[in-house]
Structure 1
Amino acid sequence: MCAETPDYKTTLNLPQTDFPMRAGLPKREPEWLSRWSEMDIYGRLRAKALTEDRTPFTLHDGPPYANGHLHIGHALNKTIKDMIVRSHQMMGRDARYIPGWDCHGLPIEWKIEEQYRAKGKNKDEVPIVDFRQECRNFAAGWVDIQREEFKRLGVTGNWDQPYLTMDFHAERVIAEEFQKFLMTGTLYQGSKPVMWSPVEKTALAEAEIEYHDHKSHTIWVPFACKSAPEALQDARVVIWTTTPWTIPSNKAVAYNSTIAYGLYRVDETEEESWTKPGDLYLFADTLAAEALTKSRATKFTRISDVAASDLDGMILKHPFAGLEGANGFWDYDVPMIDGDHVTDDAGTGFVHTAPSHGADDFTAFEKRGWMDRMTHNVGEESEFLPHVPFFAGLKVFDHKGKEGKANTTVIAKLVEAGGIIARGQVKHSYPHSWRSKAPVIFRNTPQWFAAIDRPVGDGHDTYGTTIRQRALTSIDQLVKWTPQTGRNRLYSMIEQRPDWVLSRQRAWGVPLTCFTKVGALPTDPDFLLRNEAVNARILAAFEAEGADAWYKEGAKARFLDGIVNPDDYTQVFDILDVWFDSGSTHAFVLRDREDGAADGIADVYMEGTDQHRGWFHSSMLQACGTIGRAPYRNVVTHGFTLDAKGNKMSKSLGNTIVPETIIKQYGADILRLWVAQADYTSDQRIGPEILKGTADSYRRLRNTMRFMLGSLAQFSEADRVAPADMPELEQWVLHRLAELDQKVRDGYASFDFQGVFSAVFTFATVDLSAFYFDIRKDALYCDGDTATRRAARTVLDILFHRLTTWLAPVLVFTMEEVWLERFPGADSSVHLQDIPETPADWLNADLAAKWAQVRTARRAVTAALEIQRTDKVIGASLEAAPVVHVEDATMLATLKSVPFMDVCITSAIALTADPAPSEAFRLPEVPGIGVVFEQATGEKCQRCWKILPDVGHHSHAGVCGRCDAALS
Structure 2
Amino acid sequence: MTSRNSDGRSENEAAGESAARDYSSTLFLPQTDFPMRAGLPQREPELLARWERIDLYGQQRKEGEGRPRFVLHDGPPYANGNIHIGHALNKILKDVVVRSQGALGHDSNYVPGWDCHGLPIEWKIEEQYRAKGKNKDEVPVVEFRQECRAFAEGWIDVQRAEFKRLGVEGDWSHPYVTMSYDAEAQIAREIVKFASNGLLYRGSKPVMWSVVERTALAEAEVEYHDHTSTTIYVKFPVTGYRESDATAGGLPKGLKPASEADDIHLFPSYEGASVVIWTTTPWTIPGNRAIAFSKDVTYAVYEVTEAPADNWAKVGEHFILADKLAGEVFKAARVTGWERRKEVDPTHLVCAHPLAGVEGTKGYFDFPVPVVAGDFVTEETGTGFVHIAPGHGADDFNLYIAERLGEVPHTVGPDGRYYDHVPLFAGHRVMDDKGKDGDANDAVIKALAAADKLIARGRLKHQYPHSWRSKAPVIFRNTPQWFIAMDKDIAAADGSSTKGDTLRARALGGIAGVDWVPASGENRITGMIENRPDWVVSRQRAWGVPIAVFVKDRGDGTVEILRDEQVNRRIADAFAAEGADAWYKEGAARRFLGNDYDANEWTKVDDILDVWFDSGSTHAFTLEVRADLKVNRAFTGGPDRVMYLEGSDQHRGWFHSSLLESCGTRGRPPYDVVLTHGFVLDEQGRKMSKSVGNVVAPQEVIKSSGADILRLWVCASDYSDDLRIGPEILKTTVETYRKLRNTLRWLLGSLHHYREAERIAYADMPALERMVLHRLVELDATVREAYAAFDFKRVNAALTAFMTSELSAFYFDVRKDALYCDPISSVTRRACLTVLDEVFNRLVVWLAPILPFTAEETWLSRFPSETGSVHLVTFPETPAKWRDDVLADEWRKIRLVRRVVLGALEVERAAKRIGSSLEAAPVIHVTDPNLFTAVSAVDLAEVCITSDAHLVPDEGPSGAFRLPDVPGVAVVAAKAVGEKCARSWKISPLVGTDPEFPDVTPRDAMALRELAAARRAAE
Secondary structure of 1:89's partner? helix
Q: Does 1:191 align with 2:204?
A: yes
Paired residue for 1:503?
Answer: 538
| Alignment check: 8 A CA contact 1:85 1:95 kept | yes
Alignment equivalent of 1:552, drawn from 574, 585, 592: 585
Paired residue for 2:393?
Answer: 358
Q: Quick one: distance in 2 between partners of 1:630 and 1:696?
A: 43
- Summarize the Cα distance change of 1:143–1:854 in structure 2 as closer, same or farther, 3 Å threshold: same
- Summarize the Cα distance change of 1:594–1:521 in structure 2 as closer, same or farther, 3 Å threshold: farther
Alignment equivalent of 2:882, drawn from 827, 839, 842: 842
Secondary structure of 2:691's partner? coil
Q: Does 1:951 align with 2:984?
A: no
Secondary structure of 2:696's partner? coil
Paired residue for 2:148?
Answer: 135
Q: Quick one: distance in 2 between partners of 1:842 and 1:462?
A: 59
How far does the alpha carbon of each residue in 1:640-667 deviate from its partner, in whole angstroms, 9 at most, with x for none? 1000111011112111111001011111
Alignment equivalent of 1:782, drawn from 802, 809, 821: 821
TM (norm. structure 1) is 0.97
Secondary structure of 2:454's partner? coil
Paired residue for 1:429?
Answer: 463
Give the superposed CA RMSD: 1.6
Secondary structure of 2:76's partner? coil
- State the one-letter code of the partner of 2:803: A
Paired residue for 2:109?
Answer: 96
Q: Quick one: distance in 1 between partners of 2:223 and 2:765?
A: 62
- Summarize the Cα distance change of 1:911–1:747 in structure 2 as closer, same or farther, 3 Å threshold: same
Secondary structure of 1:190's partner? strand
Say how many residue pairs are matched. Answer: 959
- State the one-letter code of the partner of 1:412: K
Secondary structure of 1:868's partner? helix
Paired residue for 2:56?
Answer: 41
Cα deviation for residue 257 of structure 1 reads 2.5
Structure 1 gaps of 5+ residues are none
Q: Quick one: distance in 2 between partners of 1:772 and 1:463?
A: 68
Alignment equivalent of 1:708, drawn from 718, 733, 747: 747
Cα deviation for residue 892 of structure 1 reads 2.0
Cα deviation for residue 446 of structure 1 reads 0.5
Q: Quick one: distance in 2 between partners of 1:842 and 1:4?
A: 42
Cα deviation for residue 406 of structure 1 reads 0.6
Q: Quick one: distance in 2 between partners of 1:520 and 1:77?
A: 50
Cα deviation for residue 945 of structure 1 reads 0.5
Secondary structure of 1:57's partner? strand
Secondary structure of 2:561's partner? coil
Q: Does 1:242 align with 2:283?
A: no
Cα deviation for residue 523 of structure 1 reads 4.8
Paired residue for 2:971?
Answer: 931
Alignment equivalent of 1:469, drawn from 505, 512, 515: 505
| Alignment check: 8 A CA contact 1:189 1:522 kept | no
- State the one-letter code of the partner of 2:60: L
Q: Does 1:109 align with 2:122?
A: yes
Secondary structure of 1:878's partner? helix
Q: Does 1:720 align with 2:754?
A: no
Alignment equivalent of 1:382, drawn from 401, 405, 416: 416
Paired residue for 2:951?
Answer: 911
After superposing the two structures, state which structure 1 stretch, 639-648 or 531-540, moved more: 531-540
Cα deviation for residue 23 of structure 1 reads 0.6
| Alignment check: 8 A CA contact 2:203 2:558 kept | no
Q: Quick one: distance in 2 between partners of 1:563 and 1:20?
A: 75
- Summarize the Cα distance change of 1:136–1:671 in structure 2 as closer, same or farther, 3 Å threshold: same
How far does the alpha carbon of each residue in 1:896-938 deviate from its partner, in whole angstroms, 9 at most, with x for none? 2122221111111111213412222111111111111110000
Paired residue for 1:584?
Answer: 617
Paired residue for 1:573?
Answer: 606
Alignment equivalent of 1:665, drawn from 704, 729, 734: 704
After superposing the two structures, state which structure 1 stretch, 617-626 or 326-335, moved more: 326-335
After superposing the two structures, state which structure 1 stretch, 328-337 or 775-784, moved more: 328-337
Alignment equivalent of 2:927, drawn from 884, 887, 903: 887
After superposing the two structures, state which structure 1 stretch, 917-926 or 610-619, moved more: 917-926
- Summarize the Cα distance change of 1:877–1:248 in structure 2 as closer, same or farther, 3 Å threshold: same
Q: Does 1:873 align with 2:913?
A: yes
| Alignment check: 8 A CA contact 1:251 1:373 kept | no
5 Å-filtered alignment, 1:123-162, equals 123-162=136-175
Paired residue for 1:24?
Answer: 39
- Summarize the Cα distance change of 1:958–1:4 in structure 2 as closer, same or farther, 3 Å threshold: farther
- State the one-letter code of the partner of 1:337: V
Paired residue for 1:683?
Answer: 722
How far does the alpha carbon of each residue in 1:763-815 deviate from its partner, in whole angstroms, 9 at most, with x for none? 00111001100000001100121111111111111111111100010111111
| Alignment check: 8 A CA contact 1:591 1:600 kept | no
Cα deviation for residue 508 of structure 1 reads 0.4
5 Å-filtered alignment, 1:762-911, equals 762-785=801-824, 786-911=826-951
Structure 2 gaps of 5+ residues are 1-15, 241-257, 636-640, 1010-1019
Cα deviation for residue 726 of structure 1 reads 1.0
Alignment equivalent of 1:167, drawn from 180, 189, 195: 180
- State the one-letter code of the partner of 2:615: S
Aligned-residue identity in percent = 57
Cα deviation for residue 520 of structure 1 reads 4.1
Q: Quick one: distance in 2 between partners of 1:874 and 1:472?
A: 72
- State the one-letter code of the partner of 2:960: A
How far does the alpha carbon of each residue in 1:311-368 deviate from its partner, in whole angstroms, 9 at most, with x for none? 3332211111111111111111111222222211111111111111111111111112
Paired residue for 2:629?
Answer: 596
Secondary structure of 1:566's partner? coil
Paired residue for 1:415?
Answer: 449
Cα deviation for residue 884 of structure 1 reads 1.0
How far does the alpha carbon of each residue in 1:501-548 deviate from its partner, in whole angstroms, 9 at most, with x for none? 010000100000111114444656xx1111111111111111111111
Cα deviation for residue 550 of structure 1 reads 0.7
Q: Does 1:626 align with 2:665?
A: yes
Q: Quick one: distance in 2 between partners of 1:292 and 1:849?
A: 75
- Summarize the Cα distance change of 1:914–1:289 in structure 2 as closer, same or farther, 3 Å threshold: closer
Q: Quick one: distance in 2 between partners of 1:457 and 1:717?
A: 69
Q: Quick one: distance in 1 between partners of 2:943 and 2:961?
A: 19
Q: Does 1:398 align with 2:439?
A: no
Alignment equivalent of 2:597, drawn from 554, 560, 564: 564
How far does the alpha carbon of each residue in 1:12-43 deviate from its partner, in whole angstroms, 9 at most, with x for none? 01110111111111111111111111111011
Q: Does 1:203 align with 2:225?
A: no
- State the one-letter code of the partner of 2:300: G
Q: Does 1:962 align with 2:1003?
A: yes
| Alignment check: 8 A CA contact 1:274 1:420 kept | yes
Q: Does 1:530 align with 2:569?
A: no
